[in-house]
Structure 1
Amino acid sequence: MPVIPNNGHGQPTPREQQLVRLLPKNPTPFADASLDALANLMIVEDDELNDGADAEENLAVPAGYTYFGQFVDHDLTLDTTSSFSRPQDAASNLRTPSLDLDCIYGSGPQDQPYMYAADGATLLIDPRGTDLMRQPLNGRAIIGDKRNDENSIVCQIQLAMIKFHNAVVLRLRQNGETEPRDLFEHARREVTWTYQRIVLEDYLLRIVNTHTYDFFTQRRASLGAKAYDLYKDVDTPDGPMRGNLPKEFVGAAYRFGHSMVRRGYRLNTVTKKLIFDGTDLSDDSLVGFQPLPSGHLIDDWGRFFTPSFVIPTKNQPAPVENNPAVRLQWAYKIDPSLVDPLAALPPSIDSGRRSLAALNLKRGNLDAYAIATGQAFAAALKEKPLGPDELMVREPVPDDQGGGFTFKSIGSADPRFLTETPLWFYILAEAQAPLLVFWRSVNQRALQDADFTSGVGSTSRLGPVGGRILMEVFNGIVDSDPRSFRNAAPAGWVPMIGKDISFWAVLRFAGLL
């Protein structure tokens, strides 16, 4: 595998990739006030920080995949419209639009030797082995993408992937390979191909509903390039389609993970923290861009990942406020609800301290994006669009009236949203739709914790529009990459981690379990 030039910290270069479109732009932008009103409806206030069983948990997706998804995002994209400080007339990507782990490798040991040991094959980490390598003066991580130090969990996923690479180098040495450059390139191929398979066969399997996942997987196996209805291998006015990332993926579909964020996490037997506490560089939250506090070390990865794809069928125990025992924490459900810490992002992420929901909705509304509506995507895929009775947000019921949640229409933000829905919201509403069917089957009574911890209310996954966009884009970028495992791996290649294609197996191989 050749060394791929990379600017891990997002400096514009001739490599800048224009984003492409899956569908024609939305001709009629939404009003900012309407988008703000919709964003406000999406925030669910909750003053509890449960680190035991929690009714908000999605029993299909362990919590670690929220941050594995963030890691994948940073590998694929650096969106130049992430800043709202000035108008944008173009949308572009400053990352290589492929699953090539340039966020780990940078531009390689020849161009960025300060990231590598003297052997030219091993990546450097903090000498104690518990943190990333950092600049001594300001504590910033010296890595391929500075965003992978954004919080204490994604920081440790970055560290785990570096340790995985180093473990592969050690295994190759044990097998007799010694020439530094060949050793590095061989290890990089092994790690990158394994990672690509994990994205397709572990991560997406958990995120996308079974019907959509199996349908596209079988369709691609039988039809090849003709399986793609959206992400086609054709030239467009914005450039070649497959190989560049779509605006709809960057600006909407792949932002589904924001709904999976918990208010906070337990990292070890003594530490549980809010994801944000409204400030930067605070030991009272998981905000990063500083040396990893010793109290933030994950003591057991079983708190965030699981070795197999299993959805519990039994009711979970009642929420526990302080549960230091090792217990798998699940991501929150994929639905149009965001936890309240995301209502005002910390300064290091957004200087305006704005709502993440509002930022997402307005990004897709910028002229540079003008993303088509969810209904337009449903029509393109020949799927029945969501009706007004499926475009709803949660509404809390006061405790003195029994507590719990019912649902209300988003028409109060703007009646137009009931027939023309921003794609990001539409995708989240798709994942929530089965719960609304259940809610109506019980005469629209207030749903209680028990309704969210068993049956249809216990899980949520992407539906036919959101799931299909992810399946087409991720499979498409792997199919289009001549260096991917599908195009370059020798016949019969089996990853060093074995036949268990999962992030858990990576952690095990890296010696972290």
Structure 2
Amino acid sequence: MLRESIGERVRALALEAGARPSDQGFCRMFPALAGEAHLLPSGPRTLRDLSLLAATMVEPEAPPPRPRVKSPGDSDLPAAYTYLVEFVRNDLVWERRSQDEAALGPAAYGPLGSLSGLLNRRSGGLDLDSVYDAPRDPAAVRRMLLGPTSPRSGASASADARAEGRNGARNEDARTDLPRHPRSRDPARDRTPRMSDTRNDANLILSQLHVAFLKAHNALIAAGLSFEAARRALRRRYQWMVLEDLLPKICDPQVVDEVLATGPRLWRAQKPGEISMPVEFFAAAFVLAPSMTRPSYDYNARFRAVEHAALATRAVLGAGGRGPDTLPGERVIAWDAFLPLRAEAPQRARLLDTQIAGAPESAAALATRHLTRGFRLGLPSGQAVARHLGLRPLRDDTLLATLPDHQRVAALPFCEATPLWFYILAEAGDPNGPAGRHLGPVGSRIVAESLWNLVRHSDASILAPREMADFERFSLADLVLLAGEEDAT
């Protein structure tokens, strides 16, 4: 009863701050492909084969690539875009499990009969719900609340901090953490961020990106805008960033140019305020961060070649009430290691393909979760979608040729009907196609049309008729630089 009461209060505060949960939930981009002929076969054998396939998605162990030297498997994309993809996905979708799905339990061997019970706690648009469902600063209510960092643990403090305070990099004198609850014996509240959805605090890079959005809002307030005007301005810049900065970096340029010029040709949302989230997008085509994530990062000047798992926020704060109260000052990110903010090239995201870097157990569990999730949602096979789009599908030898040697045996059961997520990654990694540089034709079409629709039906949409932008461009680097202005005040 107490937990439900707290949940209702959190939802009320989120609505007051501007979040608008979607009543529409989820939909199918390709409803004509919902029949059994277009799906993976039901039954325990498919689940077993998916588990075996997931185990092969673990990138074989090798000497870890040097973060700032381009190595085999690295793309040309700055590493920060891995976390922008993850941020956008979290901002668009916060799914509440339906009672129907929960009732199926582990013994269910087939997909959900309907999506009607799935609810999206987000508005479904690119409205920065994940940013604005957090508290404002009580000392200046137009500003978003930020958290302080804990004192540095070492004595080698200030020279490199001053040097890194430029160009959007670290500034340990600023409030550079998410606002956090105090220590608690309840693990669910112990130093967790003060916002209803804590997924953006899973690792330090994503958490610091969320902080950058909070700071960017405050920088717009410092420029003289009201809270509503600053929120509108940041939302519109965010939408531009997604369409004009992120989309061309992860999708086929021809598909992007077509969609931005003429709009979607396959899927258009119904009416403003009635948008649903396509499951093909959120559960398959836009699940890109696992493939893009590096095994290690140069996080800042003090922490170089740090394994990705060691950047988990909980690993830094400590469990059971141990560790610092907030993010330690030396753990503030140096954005110039992730974005081209200086002359030195930043580290890069990994190529898009069917391999996931990291600890084998964690990578396999992540792959299993996404493969079985797509199966349970009744996503059509990659080949079914390709045929629906009028494309020649990858199948049999042409599919196997896109995969590394160690995956081909496990992929054999899926040569004719491939899980959509795996198919999209295989298509992106095709050495005779995109070769990992961006998504292929199926993935590009789903992502570009989905994001166009979601922007078009967002609050203060930059795609709305007669809407004029008050800025020329706004990239991820511009966000970090705008956040840096907040540090300078």
> TM-score, structure 2 length as denominator?
0.76
Alignment CA distance shift 1:503-1:409 (3 Å) = closer
Separation in structure 1 between the aligned mates of residue 102 and residue 458 of structure 2, nearest angstrom: 34
Can you list the C-alpha shifts for 1:3-39, whole angstroms capped at 9, x where unaligned?
Answer: x97759xxxx985542101123252336111101111
Aligned pair partner of 1:157 in 209, 212, 219: 209
Unaligned ranges ≥5, structure 2:
1-10, 106-111, 149-173, 184-189
1:51 partner amino acid: P
Aligned pair partner of 1:340 in 358, 361, 370: 358
1:274 partner amino acid: E
Aligned pair partner of 1:244 in 267, 276, 283: 276
Aligned pair partner of 2:88 in 55, 72, 79: 72
Can you list the C-alpha shifts for 1:392-426, whole angstroms capped at 9, x where unaligned?
Answer: 3888xxxxxxxxxx63663x225341111110001
CA contact (8 A) 2:310 2:316 kept: no
Give the equivalent residue in structure 2 for 1:115. Answer: 136
Query: Is 1:503 paired with 2:476?
Result: yes
Separation in structure 2 between the aligned mates of residue 489 and residue 292 of structure 1, nearest angstrom: 44
Aligned pair partner of 2:369 in 336, 359, 363: 359
Query: Is 1:418 paired with 2:395?
Result: no
Aligned pair partner of 1:194 in 226, 229, 237: 237
Aligned pair partner of 2:78 in 47, 55, 62: 62
Separation in structure 1 between the aligned mates of residue 258 and residue 138 of structure 2, nearest angstrom: 45
SS at match of 1:197: helix
Separation in structure 2 between the aligned mates of residue 82 and residue 51 of structure 1, nearest angstrom: 41
Give the equivalent residue in structure 2 for 1:129. Answer: 175
Give the equivalent residue in structure 2 for 1:304. Answer: 338
SS at match of 1:267: coil
2:249 partner amino acid: R
Separation in structure 1 between the aligned mates of residue 330 and residue 63 of structure 2, nearest angstrom: 21
Query: Is 1:255 paired with 2:287?
Result: yes
Give the equivalent residue in structure 2 for 1:313. Answer: none
CA contact (8 A) 1:307 1:504 kept: yes
CA contact (8 A) 2:136 2:144 kept: yes
1:35-434 to 2 correspondences below 5 Å: 35-49=50-64, 50-81=66-97, 87=104, 89=112, 90-106=117-133, 114-127=135-148, 128-137=174-183, 138-143=190-195, 145-172=197-224, 183-220=226-263, 227-229=264-266, 231-234=267-270, 243-272=275-304, 273-276=306-309, 281-283=314-316, 291-299=326-334, 301-306=335-340, 327-341=345-359, 343-344=361-362, 355-366=365-376, 369-392=377-400, 407=405, 410=408, 412-413=409-410, 415-433=412-430
Unaligned ranges ≥5, structure 1:
107-111, 174-182, 221-226, 309-324, 346-353, 396-405, 438-455
1:386 partner amino acid: L
Separation in structure 1 between the aligned mates of residue 373 and residue 269 of structure 2, nearest angstrom: 26
Separation in structure 1 between the aligned mates of residue 139 and residue 406 of structure 2, nearest angstrom: 61
Separation in structure 1 between the aligned mates of residue 68 and residue 52 of structure 2, nearest angstrom: 33
CA contact (8 A) 2:92 2:126 kept: yes
CA contact (8 A) 1:261 1:339 kept: yes
SS at match of 1:122: strand
1:401-480 to 2 correspondences below 5 Å: 407=405, 410=408, 412-413=409-410, 415-433=412-430, 435-436=431-432, 460-480=437-457
2:139 partner amino acid: A
SS at match of 1:338: coil
Separation in structure 2 between the aligned mates of residue 57 and residue 289 of structure 1, nearest angstrom: 36
Separation in structure 2 between the aligned mates of residue 185 and residue 394 of structure 1, nearest angstrom: 49
CA contact (8 A) 2:235 2:460 kept: no
CA contact (8 A) 1:343 1:357 kept: no
Percent identity of equivalent pairs? 29
Separation in structure 1 between the aligned mates of residue 13 and residue 424 of structure 2, nearest angstrom: 32
1:504 partner amino acid: A
Alignment CA distance shift 1:78-1:25 (3 Å) = same
TM superposition shift of 1:284 = 11
Alignment CA distance shift 1:289-1:195 (3 Å) = farther
TM superposition shift of 1:326 = 5.6
Q: CA RMSD in A?
A: 3.4
Separation in structure 1 between the aligned mates of residue 28 and residue 410 of structure 2, nearest angstrom: 27
SS at match of 2:104: coil
TM superposition shift of 1:302 = 1.9
Q: Which moved more, 1:146-155 or 1:385-394?
A: 385-394
Separation in structure 1 between the aligned mates of residue 466 and residue 130 of structure 2, nearest angstrom: 22
Can you list the C-alpha shifts for 1:350-398, whole angstroms capped at 9, x where unaligned?
Answer: xxxx6111110000111xx110011111112111211323323888xxx
- For these two proteins, the number of residue pairs brought into alignment is 416
